[in-house]
Structure 1
Amino acid sequence: MRLILVRHGQTPSNVEFLLDTAAPGPGLTALGEKQAAALPQALADEEIDALYASTLTRARLTAAPLAAARGLDVRVREGIRELSAGDLEMLRGDTEEARAYLTTAFAWAAGETALRMPGGESGAEALSRFDAVVAEAAASGAGSVAMVSHGAAIRVWTAARARNVAVSFATGHRLDNTDVVVLEGSPADGWTAVSWAGTPLDDAASGRESGPTGQPLGPAGEPPVPNE
């Protein structure tokens, strides 16, 4: 199966550098709406048999133009929502406390899944809920599936599950709004990442381009706020 993971469009919390992961979450900014509207063209060369979105408002709004363009229903699933920030919710991403969010999340990708976000979920819980939605999509028989999810969730799950994505790579390569990670494989056989934010994975470590449908929110490298 080809798995197309899409980060949602820009939100007001992204602009304010806030760690905003709770449901239902904010909608999209004007730029975020433009990014969502551009997504069908950005994915024009991709076959998409099924479309999923997380339960958070920003993911569903981002998926809507693609659903309309492809004549697909959006399958809304809680399992692909953002990694819960717990006690860190709504902190500014440039604070020392908020940095614990990504430190904990990428420790999960490195195998320390028993760790728990302060006041939130464990790595085992976060990865298993994302796994369940991917397994559902694979069991449906769809050859190519798009999922509109969230930056930290996509980066951490891909680092944990793709055989060719090191945790250090995922840590150092942020996803801007509506950036896309494409993988191929299956839950049984494992996953290989084909591209990261429009760049073939073999070449991705040598440079970083902006997202396919919108403007980057910051320079290359780790942003001041986690990719919620």
Structure 2
Amino acid sequence: MSIKKIYLIRHGQTDFNVQGVVQGSGVDSSLNDIGQRQAQLFYQKYKDIPFDKVYTSTLKRSVQSVQGFIDKGIPHETHAGLNEINWGTREGTRITPEEDAYYHHILHTWSEGNTHICIEGGESPDLVAARQKPFVDLMLSRPEEENVLICMHGRAMRIMLSHMLHYPLRCMDQFLHQNLCLYQLDFTGSMLVVKKYCDVSHLQEMGV
């Protein structure tokens, strides 16, 4: 069996990223000028990879980050399972010092293994992993797709990497991310091997 190569990226920068505004599955923001440039640089670096499929979340910032590949005619599927975690009442708001304390409390709670606990009005990591599973199973079950490009979101990406690589969800923060970073995974049919970890070498022109 041939090796399936999975190129997993986080979306490019948005104004909300810069402003410290919480984005989740309910905030459908667009890339800013820097995010568009990040997407262009990634495309220039990887446009010659013979991708068989592009997968994105249903959110604009995800689709816009791989628009060059879609415009090239590569088949594209959107999956709600790839959407960012729902941050509940914090979505669309700047994190104040008071909210920061609550946010960091939730992250600490999850890091202690209590990944079933939902953020106020939103989702838990367990719920996100459950909605991601049908997508992961579908994507891995398609051997004819030897090279796939997936664009999604920071927290959701950490959760999916933990699930795919058999780490407990409490360890998800070990998977670092930046805007338009790349994780490259090789799937042998029985196991996944990490080939690139939070790689941003394609953004060197921007001084990242």
**TM-score, normalisation: structure 2:** 0.81
Aligned to 1:81: 83
- Per the alignment, in what secondary structure is the counterpart of residue 212 of structure 1? helix
Does residue 1:143 correspond to 2:140, yes or no? no
Q: Distance in 2 between matches of 1:109 and 1:191?
A: 23
Per the TM alignment, residue 107 of structure 1 is displaced from its structure 2 partner at its CA by 5.8
Aligned to 1:130: 132
Aligned to 1:42: 45
> Are the equivalent residues in 2 in contact too, given 1:7–1:180 (CA < 8 A)?
yes
- Residue type of the partner of 1:121? E
CA 1:99–1:13 in structure 2 vs 1: closer, same or farther (change >3 Å)? farther
Of 111, 114, 121, 1:112 maps to: 114
Aligned to 1:161: 164
Aligned to 1:152: 155
Higher helix share: 2
> Are the equivalent residues in 2 in contact too, given 1:18–1:93 (CA < 8 A)?
yes
> Are the equivalent residues in 1 in contact too, given 2:26–2:86 (CA < 8 A)?
no
Q: Distance in 2 between matches of 1:167 and 1:158?
A: 12
Aligned to 2:33: 30
- Matched length: 203
Higher-Rg member (1/2): 2
Aligned to 2:194: 193
- Residue type of the partner of 1:197? C
Q: Distance in 2 between matches of 1:110 and 1:19?
A: 23
Q: Deviations over 1:121-169 (max 9, x none)?
A: 222220122222121112222122111101111123213432579966x
**TM-score, normalisation: structure 1:** 0.74
Per the TM alignment, residue 92 of structure 1 is displaced from its structure 2 partner at its CA by 2.6
Does residue 1:212 correspond to 2:202, yes or no? yes
Q: Distance in 2 between matches of 1:162 and 1:45?
A: 27
Show the 5 A alignment for 1:55-74.
Answer: 55-69=58-72, 71-74=73-76
Unaligned runs of 5+ in 2: none
Per the TM alignment, residue 182 of structure 1 is displaced from its structure 2 partner at its CA by 1.4
Structure having greater relative contact order (Cα 8 Å, sep ≥ 6): 2
Q: Distance in 1 between matches of 2:201 and 2:101?
A: 24
Unaligned runs of 5+ in 1: 199-209, 218-228
Percent of pairs with identical residues: 22
**Stretch moving more, 50-59 or 31-40:** 31-40
Aligned to 1:224: none
- Per the alignment, in what secondary structure is the counterpart of residue 28 of structure 2? coil
Per the TM alignment, residue 19 of structure 1 is displaced from its structure 2 partner at its CA by 0.7
Per the TM alignment, residue 106 of structure 1 is displaced from its structure 2 partner at its CA by 7.6
CA 1:100–1:153 in structure 2 vs 1: closer, same or farther (change >3 Å)? farther
- Per the alignment, in what secondary structure is the counterpart of residue 82 of structure 1? coil
